Amino acid sequence: MWTFLHKLASPPHFFSYAKGLIPWFAWPGYALLIYGSFAGLFLAPMDYQQKDAYRIIYLHVPAAYLSMMAYVIMAVAGGIGLIWRMKLAHAVAASAAPIGASFTFLALATGSIWGRPMWGTWWEWGDPRLMSELILLFLYIGYMALRGAIDDTAKADKASAVLALVGAVNIPVIHFSVEWWSSLHQGPTLVRAGGPAMDTSMLYPLLAMILGATLVFVSLLLRRVRSEVLQREQRTRWVKALVLSPKGGR
């Protein structure tokens, strides 16, 4: 078992099997996203409070979920890389950051667009979820800036792992503080996205979107990790053999 895991995490093995894995995540993922979007846009009934604007949550919820998921992956991978000195883990952490940041941006943008008809403003300061997403985006920016500022890859890996872990410990506190902050706010009563009792014809497209987005995320992650591995291992024998082999690695 242990040797099997070890082999899975070895860069050359990962490099070759990940290539085969990517389509298995990407295609079902995209299929689910297409089904989810279609069903969410046209099949699901209208929400009686929010009318058709609620259909934005089919994007907002998966994006918000992935933005946090990516941060957790980044922090956990960073921690694994620090403790067990696993090189692949650092490559995963480095790859998760830009994807996570882009989903955070999407969650913010869709939240803001949804808020325009709901609250009458593009940016409602009193909404804790948007505020948390914004801080999360800042955390991603800090993480990528730190990585970019350190030239030595090994050092950048470890330093950013420490930062990601500190950030991960802080995220629940940030969330709690923002909740508390907005609960004191005497603003408009917010219309919550979705309700406790969601109709199944509304729920299934949402589940499809979440699952599909996760699969697409994994395929993007694998693709990026492959490039990271290739770059980090460029002085090893296996990369040399790969590049000089007639098939190449294109």
Partner 1 sequence: MNGAAGQLPGLLVCLRATLQRELLLVLRRPGDMLNPLFFFAMVCTLFPLAMGPSEEQLAFAAPGVLWVAALLAMLLSLNSLFLSDHADGSLEQLLASPQPLVVLALGKTVAHWLTSGLPLVLLSPALAMAFRLPAGTIWVLMSALTLGTVSLSLLGSVGAALTVGLHRGTALLSLLILPLAMPVLIFGARTVSLSAAGDTYSMGLFALAAYAVGALSLAPFATAAALRISNE
Partner 2 sequence: MSNTLSAHKLTLVRGERCLFKGLNFALGSGELLLLEGRNGSGKTSLLKAIIGLLELETGEFQWNGMPVRSQRQEFLSASVWMAHRVGMKPDLTASENLSFESTLRPLNNCDIEEALERLGVLRLKKLPLRSLSAGQQRRVGLARMLIARATLWLMDEPFTNLDREGRDLLTGIISDHIEAGGLCVLAAHQDVAVDVPTQRILLE
Partner 3 sequence: MEKLAMGGYGMYVWSSYALALAVIVVNEWRARRRYRRVYRDVEVRIKALEDRL
| Binding-site ranges for partner 1 (CB under 8 A) | 82, 135, 138-139, 141-142, 145-146, 149-150, 152, 154-155, 158-159, 162-163, 165-167, 169-170, 173-174, 176-178, 180-181, 184
Tell the smallest beta-carbon distance from residue 248 to partner 2 (Å): 23
Distance CA 111, CA 124 (A): 10
Can you tell me which residue has the tokens 């297409």?
Answer: 34
Contact status: 244 vs partner 3 (CB under 8 A)? yes
Distance CA 102, CA 217 (A): 11
**Torsion on CA atoms 10, 14, 16, 17, rounded to nearest 10:** 130
DSSP SS3 for 137:
helix
Listed residue (35, 21, 161) closest to 87, CA to CA:
161
> And the tokens for 23?
């389509």
CA 248 to chain centre: 31
- Three-state SS string over 200-238 comes to HHHHHHHHHHHHHHHHHHHHHHHHHHHHHHHHHCCCCHH
Per CB under 8 A, contacts with partner 3 among 116-135 are: 116-117
Question: Which parts of this chain interact with partner 2 (CB under 8 A)?
Answer: 151-152, 235
Cβ proximity to partner 2, 151 vs 245, nearer residue: 151
Tell the smallest beta-carbon distance from residue 222 to partner 3 (Å): 9
Per CB under 8 A, contacts with partner 3 among 9-48 are: 33, 37, 41-42, 46
Site string for partner 3, 63-82 (x = CB under 8 A): x-------------------
54 burial (CB, 10 Å; 0-12 / 13-18 / 19+) is buried
Tell the smallest beta-carbon distance from residue 172 to partner 3 (Å): 26
Contact residues: partner 3, CB under 8 A: 33, 37, 41-42, 46, 51-53, 55-56, 59-60, 63, 98-99, 102-103, 105-106, 109-110, 113-114, 116-117, 216, 220, 223-224, 226-227, 230-231, 234, 239-240, 243-244, 248-250
